[in-house]
């Protein structure tokens, strides 16, 4: 009887640890993805940078791949207010020394709004499962000329990319954990 009880406890611990390990990916190691069809995918990673005790910033990286090869990338950052309740995305501008971000260059009428591209992190428990970016696809299509897109493989660009339109996703879903 004692051996059966020990086996049950050990079995439960093994099951619980394997379930927990799937969700134990640190936020700085999480890789998010959005399938675009036609062998196209956009991968997204973020690295947390604390600013104050109650706020922080994420340095973000979008990477578009076609046929599993990196075609283009763009960087940016997400700023969050007190306790991370309100966050917004800013994409790096084409001109690195410009004091305004790509949003403000493209849409000067919004020059005093900080929440042009709001960000929502959808969690299951403590784990971020989805990240949504309000109107990011529309912004990237209309304001792509102001974003610091780095094209690595121009021969793999789709028709929109050859026309200078680099579409970023409105949401990404957790895909994997970097090692």
Q: What is the pLDDT of residues 3-45, one digit of tens each?
A: 443 333 334 333 333 333 346 788 788 999 999 887 889 999 9
47 or 9: which leads in pLDDT: 47
**Tokens 């792509």 belong to which residue?**
144
Residue 55 pLDDT level (bands cut at 50, 70, 90): low
Partners of 131 in the beta sheet?
121, 172
Per-residue confidence (pLDDT) for residue 173, from 0 to 100: 96
**Tokens 């305004």 belong to which residue?**
100
Token couple for 50:
């604390």
Question: Is the pLDDT at 139 greater than 80, yes or no?
Answer: yes
The pLDDT of 162-176, averaged and rounded, is 93
CA dihedral 43, 47, 53, 54 (to 10 degrees): 0
Rounded alpha-carbon distances, angstroms, from residue 37 to 1, 34, 42, 49:
56, 9, 10, 33
Distance CA 114, CA 20 (A): 37
Per-residue confidence (pLDDT) for residue 16, from 0 to 100: 35
Distance CA 31, CA 172 (A): 9
Domain ranges of the chain: 28-177
- What does the pLDDT look like over 61-117, one tens digit per residue? 999 999 889 999 999 988 877 666 678 888 888 876 665 666 666 776 555 454 478
Closest C-alpha to 175, from 48, 55, 44:
44
Per-residue confidence (pLDDT) for residue 98, from 0 to 100: 65
Per-residue confidence (pLDDT) for residue 64, from 0 to 100: 96
The pLDDT of 42-57, averaged and rounded, is 79
Distance CA 157, CA 65 (A): 9
25 or 52: which leads in pLDDT: 25
Asked whether the beta carbons of 121 and 30 are under 8 A apart, the reply is: no
């Amino acid at each position: 009887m004692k051996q059966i009880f020990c086996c049950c406890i050990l079995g439960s611990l093994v099951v619980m640890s394997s379930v927990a390990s799937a969700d134990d990916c640190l936020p700085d190691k999480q890789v998010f993805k959005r399938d675009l069809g036609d062998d196209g995918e956009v991968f997204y990673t973020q690295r947390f940078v604390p600013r104050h005790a109650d706020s922080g910033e994420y340095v973000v990286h979008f990477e578009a791949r076609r046929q599993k090869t990196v075609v283009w990338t763009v960087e940016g950052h997400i700023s969050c207010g007190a306790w991370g309740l309100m966050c917004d995305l800013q994409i790096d501008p084409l001109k690195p020394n410009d004091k305004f971000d790509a949003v403000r260059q493209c849409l000067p009428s919004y020059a005093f709004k900080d929440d042009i591209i709001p960000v929502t992190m959808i969690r299951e428990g403590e784990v971020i499962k989805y990240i949504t970016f309000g109107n990011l696809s529309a912004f990237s299509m209309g304001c792509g000329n102001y974003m610091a897109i780095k094209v690595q493989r121009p021969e793999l660009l789709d028709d929109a990319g050859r026309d200078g339109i680099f579409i970023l996703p409105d949401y990404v879903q957790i895909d994997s954990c970097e090692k």
